[in-house]
Amino acid sequence: MSRYDPRVIEQKWQLAWEDAGIFKARHDPARPKYYVLEMFPYPSGRIHMGHVRNYTMGDMVARYRKACGYNVLHPMGWDAFGLPAENAAMEKGVQPGAWTYQNIDAMRAQMKPLGLSIDWSREFATCDPEYYGRQQALFLDMLDAGLVTRKSAQVNWDPVDMTVLANEQVVDGRGWRSGAVVERRELVQWFFRITDMADDLLAAIDGLDAWPEKVRTMQRNWIGKSRGLQFAFETKGAPEGFERLEVFTTRPDTLMGASFAAIAPEHPLAKALASDPKVAAFIAECRQSGTSEEEIETAPKIGLDTGIRVTHPFDPTWELPVWIANFILMDYGTGAIFGCPAHDQRDLDFARKYGLPVEDVFTAKGSDVRVGTEAFVPPKTEPVEYVRPLGEGGVMTGEAAVEAAIDLCEAKGIGSGVVRYRLRDWGVSRQRYWGCPIPVIHCPTCGVVQEKRENLPVRLPDDVSFEKPGNPLEHHPTWSKTTCPTCGGPARRETDTMDTFVDSSWYYARFTAPHAEGPTDLAEAGYWMNVDQYIGGVEHAILHLLYSRFFARAMVKTGHLPASAGEPFNALFTQGMVTHETYSTAGADGRPVWREPSEVIHDEAGAHLADGTPVEVGPSTKMSKSKKNVVDPADIIAHYGADTARWFVLSDSPPDRDVEWTASGAEAASKHLGRVWRLAHEASTAAGGDGDAEPLLRAAHRAIRDVTADIEGFAFNKAIARIYELTAAISRAESAPAEDRRFALRTLAQLVAPMTPHLAEDVWALVGGEGLVAAAPWPVVDPAMLAEAAVTLPVQVNGKRRAEITVPAGSDAATVEALVLQDPAVQRALDGKTPRRVIVVPDRIVNVVV
């Protein structure tokens, strides 16, 4: 063979790796470990370019660390529960399980040709009973440890289909199948008590210094710690038991601008008033919207005056009306507020709608502009002028005023300072089939009873029907019928399954001992945890990471992770997307008809279809099926081989930015790999010359130094640029002795082994490398070869070239400056004047300014 043929090479080396078993991870206390993990995929059925980029980056890190002598763990699995499988079941009449496992097989078959250094013996899917059974055990242990609770919460209710809907199933406020307006309903559900750990989850973010700052900020905001005042209004005209109304505010400094109080539609006081049909009708109206935060926030504000009044705590003659309002949430603070329209946009919208007073509490310093349709909400750190202060007025920051207000209220016995979190408890009940069954039983005599551990896993039935809307587990003729583990009487299984975020909150720990009897094996987890490098999309920056951080703590508490574990992921990297131009032709109705890249011909006539129809080329955006700007990795691999795909997704852009896939770029990548292969092939037979080898050897050692630093710094695109340089240096060094060229090529093979591992093996074998390059150590740089020869710098005086100076390469500015000022030619040009500035661009030029 004398041609680069990736099809032959790639298969050959994948078999060689498998035979040698070099990616199998074994616990070895004598060696330092390194755990690399990419966010595991959802088995949709096909891998896409985003996967290729994600797993190539992880593979780069894994192979590099292995070469550096680490005992590497690099596993892969499937995040396999979720709604799409149920949708497929409804559309295609297949069972979700069968559909999912078929997809897994298909995706594994597409992934393996990428040549990833994965320990496939650890593979699992979260829908395997072996996995979700352990998750059920974890759930029960967390229940025992007080980390699980049951309480009533709101769900989306489809009144026609008579079923609970997931947020994704509510489209514009309507049920996706029935089209009925969705209502909010209260249901008793299961929760993880993540709020108990809010403080620790927040504080520990400071220590996550190998996480992107933006992700840390998102985590902090999501947890949302705020300090405020909780106090009670005295009520007038309220039913018995409601003499006081507790409210929570983060802006007690605005109390003198209060114009109303408001309670959530689910507030006990609202419920107590619901015997009035007007109130009952209003509460029902409030329920007519989804439960997602977004929907609640964007729904138009509506309210109802209850007729009840509260007195202002600072002035007993001042009365405020109590309204029921749809924008007050029951599960935040106390479910009741006072409204200050001048300094809160929601309150202002509400006040304008219902004609409530708007009184400024503070204004911009020295301004008498009054609030119009936009509330005045400057950052709390900005000084403002208090025109209606609670205590002393004047100019101060909101921050200081809030603290002063809390102090004043506490001194007067009006409430106390409290800390609140935006974070809610994590509701995990889903009224769905394709998820992990919650392992409890409802007994008419004993109540809620845990399933016995020896009966785990509580398996999902695999003969469910999707004929009726709703949860097939409920409609199943026998599944939920069981006996009570405590009294032996007839009882009913819980039909709620767990949020699929639970499955992905501990899979990293399971990978350390995927066949363990319990959820984990402490010795294995103690050795392999934490994940040293986690890599994935920024879209998971909030919930998935927060839930994983919670679970790591919960697993320590329940004895499933060693106490030394805390955070699950030491370092996090969030990679950018793969984008592609979009192509469209004009449709009959004037709307664009999207075209696949493979349909489009690019030539002198521009972009067009085979039949000549002109094609409009749109901007490069995330690859998506709807715009058809998708390149299928399977096609790329079939055409160019995996190494070209891997090389391309690493080159061009920094890993955290988007990379644009182009056909010409893929072509160029493939050509480059072919050139490297040919160089190796020639060197394997060529006799070589007797020229100077030094420049080549220097280039090789510089490449080792720079590629190492670039990989460590996640600058993969730069590492690739260095490889181009080294390749060029090898091409140039035709006359160098054969063994030196082979050395340079072996070095090249070692450096590209993490990027294009198959090509690297072939090159390595051609130029005399021993064994597999995938098992070879990382090349070592010889510092003596880094010291550059001398460099000659031009010296300018006031912009005119006056001299040249020769110094060791890499000399620092001070050294160069001293030598320049002593130079006779420079001194002549200075003519006795003292230079104002000497600007040294190391290894380039010196400018003397007089």
Does 340 bind ligand ANZ (CB under 6 A)? Our answer is yes
Judged by CB under 5 A, the stretch of 49-57, 439-447, 623-631, 750-758 that binds Zn ion is 439-447
Q: Return d(Cα 191, Cα 153) in angstroms, integer.
A: 10
Residue 335 interacts, among ligand ANZ, Zn ion, none and using kind-specific CB cut-offs from 5 to 8 Å, with: ligand ANZ
Q: Which is nearer to Zn ion, 256 or 484 (CB)?
A: 484
Binder to ligand ANZ among 42, 124, 191, 248 (CB under 6 A)? 248
Q: Which of residues 252-271 bind ligand ANZ (CB under 6 A)?
A: 254
Residues 6+ positions from 34 with CB-CB distance below 8 Å: 62, 65, 66, 70, 71, 72, 73, 532, 533
Query: Coil, strand, or helix at residue 411?
Result: helix
Q: Which of residues 386-425 bind ligand ANZ (CB under 6 A)?
A: 420, 422
H helices within 306-463, ranges in order?
Answer: 345-354, 398-412
Q: Shortest approach of Zn ion to residue 493 CB, angstroms?
A: 13
The dihedrals phi and psi of 639, each to the nearest 5 degrees, come to -85, -50
Does 198 bind ligand ANZ (CB under 6 A)? Our answer is no
Q: Which is nearer to Zn ion, 449 or 825 (CB)?
A: 449
Q: Which of residues 698-757 bind ligand ANZ (CB under 6 A)?
A: none
Number of residues that bind Zn ion (CB under 5 A): 6
Query: Terminus-to-terminus CA distance in the chain, angstroms?
Result: 66
Could you tell me which residues are annotated as the binding site?
625
Q: Which is nearer to Zn ion, 416 or 483 (CB)?
A: 483
Under 8 Å between Cβ of 286 and 326 = yes
Residue 222 interacts, among ligand ANZ, Zn ion, none and using kind-specific CB cut-offs from 5 to 8 Å, with: none
Residue 484 interacts, among ligand ANZ, Zn ion, none and using kind-specific CB cut-offs from 5 to 8 Å, with: Zn ion
Q: Any idea how long the chain is? A: 850
Report helix angle 642-650 to 663-685, nearest 10: 120
Q: Which is nearer to Zn ion, 372 or 444 (CB)?
A: 444
Q: Return d(Cα 408, Cα 385) in angstroms, integer.
A: 19
Residue 487 interacts, among Zn ion, ligand ANZ, none and using kind-specific CB cut-offs from 5 to 8 Å, with: Zn ion
Number of residues that bind ligand ANZ (CB under 6 A): 18
Does 446 bind Zn ion (CB under 5 A)? Our answer is yes
Does 299 bind Zn ion (CB under 5 A)? Our answer is no
H helices within 68-162, ranges in order?
Answer: 83-92, 96-111, 129-144
Bridge-based pairing of strands 497-498 and 225-236 is unpaired
Q: Shortest approach of ligand ANZ to residue 229 CB, angstroms?
A: 9
Binder to Zn ion among 152, 445, 735, 822 (CB under 5 A)? 445
Q: List 149's β-bridge partners, or say none.
A: 191
Q: Return d(Cα 257, Cα 292) in angstroms, integer.
A: 31
Residue 486 interacts, among ligand ANZ, Zn ion, none and using kind-specific CB cut-offs from 5 to 8 Å, with: Zn ion
Q: Which is nearer to ligand ANZ, 222 or 332 (CB)?
A: 332
Q: Which is nearer to ligand ANZ, 352 or 608 (CB)?
A: 352
Under 8 Å between Cβ of 252 and 405 = yes
Q: Which is nearer to ligand ANZ, 328 or 797 (CB)?
A: 328
CA distances from 317 to 311, 412, 700 (A): 7, 17, 86
Does 250 bind ligand ANZ (CB under 6 A)? Our answer is yes
Residue 251 interacts, among Zn ion, ligand ANZ, none and using kind-specific CB cut-offs from 5 to 8 Å, with: ligand ANZ
Judged by CB under 6 A, the stretch of 334-342, 703-711, 741-749, 816-824 that binds ligand ANZ is 334-342
State both tokens at 789: 């020869």
Q: Shortest approach of ligand ANZ to residue 226 CB, angstroms?
A: 4
Could you tell me which residues are annotated as the binding site for ATP?
625
Q: Shortest approach of ligand ANZ to residue 270 CB, angstroms?
A: 12
Bridge-based pairing of strands 447-450 and 440-443 is antiparallel
Report helix angle 633-640 to 49-67, nearest 10: 60
Q: List 229's β-bridge partners, or say none.
A: 249, 417
Q: Which of residues 470-499 bind Zn ion (CB under 5 A)?
A: 484, 486-487
Per-residue buried b or exposed e for 563-583, using 16+ beta carbons within 10 Å of the residue's own CB: eebebbbbbbbbbbbbbbbbb
Q: Shortest approach of ligand ANZ to residue 755 CB, angstroms?
A: 46
The dihedrals phi and psi of 32, each to the nearest 5 degrees, come to -70, 140
One-letter identity of residue 580: H
Does 226 bind ligand ANZ (CB under 6 A)? Our answer is yes
Q: Which is nearer to ligand ANZ, 211 or 338 (CB)?
A: 338
Does 338 bind ligand ANZ (CB under 6 A)? Our answer is yes
One-letter identity of residue 770: E
Q: Return d(Cα 511, Cα 72) in angstroms, integer.
A: 13
Q: Which is nearer to ligand ANZ, 328 or 630 (CB)?
A: 328
Does 329 bind ligand ANZ (CB under 6 A)? Our answer is yes
Q: Return d(Cα 661, Cα 640) in angstroms, integer.
A: 14
Q: Which is nearer to Zn ion, 143 or 390 (CB)?
A: 143
Q: Shortest approach of ligand ANZ to residue 236 CB, angstroms?
A: 21
Binder to ligand ANZ among 33, 63, 134, 251 (CB under 6 A)? 251
User: What DSSP line would sit under 501-538, residue for residue?
Assistant: HHHTTSHHHHTTSTT-SSS--HHHHHHHPSBSEEEEEG
Does 822 bind Zn ion (CB under 5 A)? Our answer is no
Q: Which is nearer to ligand ANZ, 379 or 832 (CB)?
A: 379
| Contacting positions for Zn ion (CB under 5 A) | 443, 445-446, 484, 486-487
The binding site for ligand ANZ (CB under 6 A) comprises 226, 248-251, 254, 328-329, 332-333, 335, 337-338, 340, 343-344, 420, 422
